[in-house]
């Protein structure tokens, strides 16, 4: 129902993520909490998981902070400006650790 992207502000990393998301699931809203927290190194994935659980509980997809529009990444539905109200039962969390390992986890409600 939504994606919490790594989105650490790196043009190369964000571009790779956006390209994959745009090719595989362009209709799914994308957000990230990294711009709200800064670079938390290895803790970023944990914060993204907590954010995903909050999104499923509250039904609000947060916007990516300080992003007005996304140029150069067509086909990616980035949430900007205001939260999007939407019933969310599954969240894909993508994160990259400082060593370059890519970790993805799907959070899903039990009903």
pLDDT in tens, the chain (111 residues): 999 988 777 777 777 788 888 888 888 999 988 778 777 777 778 889 999 999 999 999 999 887 766 666 667 888 888 999 999 999 999 888 777 788 899 999 987
Model pLDDT, residue 69: 64
| Biggest alpha carbon–alpha carbon distance for the chain | 38
| Distance in angstroms between the alpha carbons of the first and the last residue of the chain | 14
Q: Considering only CA atoms, which of 109, 69, 102, 71 is closest in space to residue 87? A: 109
Model pLDDT, residue 43: 79
Model pLDDT, residue 23: 87
Model pLDDT, residue 72: 62
pTM of the predicted structure, to 2 decimals? 0.85
């Amino acid at each position: 129902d939504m994606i919490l992207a790594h989105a650490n502000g790196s043009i190369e990393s964000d571009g790779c993520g956006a390209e994959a998301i745009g090719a595989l699931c362009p209709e799914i809203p994308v957000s990230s909490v990294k711009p709200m927290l800064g670079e938390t190194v290895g803790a970023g994935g944990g914060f993204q998981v907590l954010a995903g659980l909050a999104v499923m509980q509250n039904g609000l997809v947060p916007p990516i902070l300080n992003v007005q529009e996304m140029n150069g990444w067509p086909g990616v539905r980035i949430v900007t400006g205001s939260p999007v109200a939407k019933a969310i039962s599954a969240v894909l969390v993508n994160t990259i650790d400082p060593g370059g390992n890519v970790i993805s986890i799907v959070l899903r409600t039990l009903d």
